[in-house]
Amino acid sequence: MNSKITFDTLGLNETILNTIKKKGFEYPSKIQAKIIPLMLENKHDIIGISQTGSGKTASFGLPLIQTIKPHNKTPKVIILTPTRELAIQVTNDLESYGKPNAKTENPLKILTVYGGTAMKYQIDRLDRGVDIVVGTPGRVLDLIDKRILNLENVENFILDEADEMLNMGFIDDIEDILYYTPKHKKVLLFSATMPQKIKDLSKRYMNNQVIVEVKSKIETKSKINQEYIMLDLSDKFPTLCKLIDMEESFYGIVFAMTKDSVNEVTQRLKKAGYLADCIHGDIQQNKRERILTDFKESKINILVATDVAARGIDINDLTHVINYSLPKEVESYVHRIGRTGRAGKSGHAISLVTPAQKFMIFDIQEQTELPIYRIDIPTDKDVFNSKVSNIKKDVNNIIESNPHFEYNDLAKDLIKTHGPEKALNALLLKLNQNKKNNGVVERTRLFVAKGKVDKFDKTKLLEFLESKVGFKINAESIKINGNYSFINVEAQQAEEIVKAFTKSDGERPLVEKSAK
């Protein structure tokens, strides 16, 4: 990015500039610096090519908010997106750009329309008049066919993520919608790639067009550590679990190629006790919105998704992107991993690669001009050592942040009653159980430092724990590894297990809530 280019050099008015400052934006992205002046000139149809997360929405949204006059009976702008999630995200962004105008008498009215929900609210809003409509092609066409949505006064026709819409087979719907718009309008196509279908569409419907392309490459400033693991297909899921278990606070998206694969991975993760859910095209809208809300609020920390369903997800603090399946195109790989390492934070992208896909990794490295390092499948010992390291880190952080130790008397009492090892083990378990989601989950996944080397199987581990706690444990999933195990129990029982271990005599395993 050229540091000499600032938003106030692009032709935006003071109201919009104040909005930008309040949102914390200092400099325009490359696509914004090129698109905004072109849109304000209002002389060209535009094709904008740039990767997901590069700021395309602001590049067309800011000029629209500035130039559209409010109080229109029928929309002046129609924006089409491939998914409901992206339509909602675009609407939220546009509304946030217009917030300084909210105190005036004439704020812009923006309506989101998509399938899977009742039409009544959308019809009522359209009857009262809207300035901008953002929607998916199917619902927009339904409203047109019912003579509810009138596009005869549209001045800007915008396709966002145009390549995905064409890949999803929306070309006929798009052309049908274009038929109902005026001949003299501005057409803007925003896309991550420039396939032949977009070139063909632009020839038919665009005039005096300008192509603005920002090369799809990962910038080193994004601090994304890229790695891959070569493995057999049967090793993918166990390896995914180990990668998650290695992390103190895993918060990421797992990408799979198909809806069936997404469903399978999600169900296996849930069965193993992870806080996971999924989104893809077959999941009903109200459920998708709830899942995305849960993910954004960290009620779940693993989201399994297809590429298309993940479009429009805008979260800055993802720790990981896991490519459970490699995408077919390099551009898709770039878009996927660009969801981590945002807002100046470091990110981690790991791809699970079968030997037959080795050439794809080489292609990605060549085209992105950045290394992707090969790593080994984590061993049981690696996971165990990571757990121990995280415990030490937590203890050190607490000691450094609480130098006065107001609990000295309590600590002495606990040590006197139970001995230093038991007291510390119990408190560490309590600390780790409350560390994420405030401990409010239906089930809690516990890490136990006993495994196959101790001649434990699932039955023996459960019997061992139940002999200590004195009640039958409701275990949904038990996984025995070399020198450690995982057990998924009800959250309330987890609390009782802590108390029982604190009071019990004799040797006990090191137990902690698993970082999910």
Give the tens place of pLDDT for each residue, 190-212. Answer: 987 788 888 888 889 998 889 99
Confidence of residue 312 (pLDDT cuts 50, 70, 90): low
Domains of the chain as residue ranges with CATH: 7-213 (3.40.50.300), 220-374 (3.40.50.300), 380-513 (no CATH)
Task: Render pLDDT for 31-73 as a digit per residue (tens, 0 to 9).
Answer: 999 999 999 999 999 999 886 667 788 999 999 999 999 999 9
Quick one: three-class SS letters along 191-205?
Answer: ECCCCHHHHHHHHHH
Q: What amino acid occupies position 1? A: M
Element containing residue 448 per DSSP (H, E): strand 443-448
Residue 52 has a pLDDT of 63
Give the pLDDT confidence score for residue 248 in this predicted structure: 80
| 504 has a pLDDT exceeding 90 | no
Q: What is the pTM of this model?
A: 0.56
328/167 Cα distance (integer angstroms): 13
pLDDT of residue 437: 41
Bridge partners (DSSP) of residue 351 are 228, 323
Q: Is the pLDDT of residue 508 over 50?
A: no
Residue 143 has pLDDT above 90, yes or no: yes
Q: What secondary structure, in 3-state letters, does 309-360 show? A: HHCCCCCCCCCEEEECCCCCCHHHHHHHHCCCCCCCCCEEEEEEECHHHHHH
Predicted pLDDT at 146: 92
% of the chain residues with pLDDT over 70 = 85
